């Protein structure tokens, strides 16, 4: 039923109504025939044939067309179904030996007024329709009176039994028709709104209280990239990285997951409540990918050395402060190239810059995962490394750096060679803050140069105090 009836409440109410009507069609004839036989001494079979069958046909002629209309949504089909039930009754009446008593006259007359009722129910107000429902069951009596056919008990009983059936079924028909009209009108308006929003250039999507996407317009789908069928019903956090977003939260930046374009959105969400349901959140999105890329580029530029592509002094200081606050033993290494000034003076600044780039690449390759190397300026480099084995491990790392730096560098037109002096400060030895470690490593590096260059010096407490 759910495929034909999108509205579950309406489907449930109609199912109850139809069940009652069919039960009435089954039990009313037998009950009426039994009462007639008991009160007037009429043969029960004769009573069923004369009266009960017709009451059943009346009820079925009301329920069957209504079923066709509601299920198939076809007015023509409903009218044809009603006509078929009337024709069946007429055929049964034609062969009946009591046609002269008005049985044939009562059924078509009643059915005429019944079939007229759904038409006028959309013209007149509800009060008039209720009046018609009261008047219609006595139509067979009026027809008999006008035609001059004597009114027998079966006609009176027929009209009396038809009254509750007519009131019940016709009113149900009217209410169901009105409910259907309201439902389809609401769905039409919803479809119209959806189509209108779908054509809006602004990305819009809706997520329910469980975080599932209920709707996304075409503009939003263009940003999410997958097909609409994949998006609808998908958890929002699988589509967008929007940590911290809550109902009604404004200006939330979210990154589109699995995007080939690194798409960033600025979201503005509003909670929209619905009767009997938890509120959903309607999000309006703005593509801020270009602004985000520009911001990231500016941030990277502010933290990156333009010559070597390594972290600059600002990035190094930030990383060192963060790592030092986390605890653990850190080694700060200061590296100053030996012989760089001679290369720069002999071959020019372009060759000097090319040499710095090669040295930067070698230092990067010599580090372990999690370590950081930065260019502080000129021919000075600094490194941050996590140390587990104290001085020996730090010295081994520094000597490895010396070896990789001292290898000849083959440039486009020249082959040059430089060395380095390295000062090392350990946080386990120098009990100070992050900046104190840098000063101690710098002092140790100058001691290495003063001792003949090309060597490693481990800082002592005196190096920090001297600076």
Question: Active-site residue numbers?
Answer: 379
Reduced DSSP (H G I as helix, E B as strand, rest coil) percent helix, strand, coil of the chain, to 5: 60, 15, 25
**Per-position b or e across 286-314, b if 16+ CB within 10 A of its CB:** ebbbeebeeeeeeeeeebbbeebebbbbe
d(Cα 167, Cα 20) in Å, to the nearest integer? Answer: 13
Cβ–Cβ < 8 Å for 390, 397: no
Distance of CA 374 to the CA centre of its chain: 44
Q: What is the DSSP letter of 431?
A: -
Cβ–Cβ < 8 Å for 114, 106: no
376 SS3 class:
strand
Any residues with CB less than 8 A from the CB of 112 and at least 6 apart, and which?
A: 139
CA torsion, points 393, 394, 397, 399, in degrees to nearest 10?
-110
Cβ–Cβ < 8 Å for 221, 228: yes
Cβ–Cβ < 8 Å for 212, 236: yes
Angle 355-305-443 (CA atoms, 0-180°, nearest 5)? 80
Strands 456-458 and 419-426: parallel
d(Cα 375, Cα 304) in Å, to the nearest integer? Answer: 9
DSSP labels, 228-282: HHHHTTSBHHHHEE-TT--TT--SEEEEETT-TT--EEEEEEEEEEETTEEEEEE
d(Cα 182, Cα 197) in Å, to the nearest integer? Answer: 22
Cβ–Cβ < 8 Å for 444, 450: no
Any residues with CB less than 8 A from the CB of 129 and at least 6 apart, and which?
A: 117, 120, 121, 170, 171, 174
Selection from 385, 367, 365, 383 nearest residue 375 by Cα: 383
- Phi then psi for 391, rounded to 5 degrees? -60, -40
d(Cα 180, Cα 187) in Å, to the nearest integer? Answer: 10
């Amino acid at each position: 039923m759910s495929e034909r009836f999108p509205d579950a409440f309406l489907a449930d109410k109609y199912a109850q109504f139809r069940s009652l009507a069919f039960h009435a069609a089954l039990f009313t004839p037998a009950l009426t025939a039994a009462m007639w036989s008991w009160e007037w001494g009429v043969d029960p079979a004769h009573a069923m044939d004369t009266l009960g069958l017709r009451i059943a046909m009346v009820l079925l002629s009301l329920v069957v067309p209504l079923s066709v209309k509601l299920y198939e949504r076809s007015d023509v089909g409903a009218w044809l179904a009603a006509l078929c039930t009337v024709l069946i009754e007429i055929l049964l009446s034609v062969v009946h030996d009591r046609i002269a008593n008005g049985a044939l006259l009562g059924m078509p007359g009643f059915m005429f007024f019944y079939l007229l009722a759904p038409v006028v129910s959309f013209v007149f107000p509800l009060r008039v329709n209720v009046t018609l429902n009261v008047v219609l069951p006595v139509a067979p009596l009026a027809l008999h009176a006008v035609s001059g056919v004597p009114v027998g008990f079966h006609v009176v009983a027929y009209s009396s039994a038809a009254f509750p059936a007519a009131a019940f079924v016709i009113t149900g028909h009217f209410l169901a028709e009105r409910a259907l009209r309201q439902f389809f009108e609401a769905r039409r308006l919803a479809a119209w709104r959806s189509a209108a929003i779908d054509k809006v250039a602004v990305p819009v999507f809706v997520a329910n209280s469980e975080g599932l996407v209920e709707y996304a317009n075409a503009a939003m789908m263009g940003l999410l990239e997958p097909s609409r069928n994949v998006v609808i019903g998908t958890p929002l956090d699988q589509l967008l990285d929007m940590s911290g977003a809550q109902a009604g939260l404004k200006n939330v930046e979210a990154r589109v997951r699995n995007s080939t374009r690194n798409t960033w959105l600025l979201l503005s969400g509003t909670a929209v409540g619905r009767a009997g349901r938890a509120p959903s959140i309607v999000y309006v999105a703005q593509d801020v990918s270009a602004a985000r890329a520009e911001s990231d580029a500016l941030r990277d530029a502010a933290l990156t050395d333009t010559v070597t592509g390594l972290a600059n002094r600002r990035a190094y200081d930030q990383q060192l402060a963060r790592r030092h606050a986390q605890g653990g033993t850190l080694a700060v290494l200061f590296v100053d190239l030996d012989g760089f000034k001679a290369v720069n003076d002999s071959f020019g600044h372009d060759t000097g810059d090319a040499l710095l780039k090669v040295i930067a690449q070698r230092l990067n390759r010599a580090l372990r995962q999690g370590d950081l190397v930065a260019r502080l300026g000129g021919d000075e480099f600094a490194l941050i490394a996590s140390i587990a084995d104290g001085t020996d491990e730090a010295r081994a790392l520094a000597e490895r750096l010396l070896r990789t730096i001292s290898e000849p560098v083959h440039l486009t037109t020249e082959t040059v060679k430089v060395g380095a002096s390295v000062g090392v400060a350990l946080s386990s030895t120098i009990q100070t803050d992050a900046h104190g470690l840098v000063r101690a490593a710098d002092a140790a590096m100058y001691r290495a140069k003063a001792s003949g260059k090309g060597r490693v010096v481990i800082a002592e407490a005196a190096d920090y105090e001297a600076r």
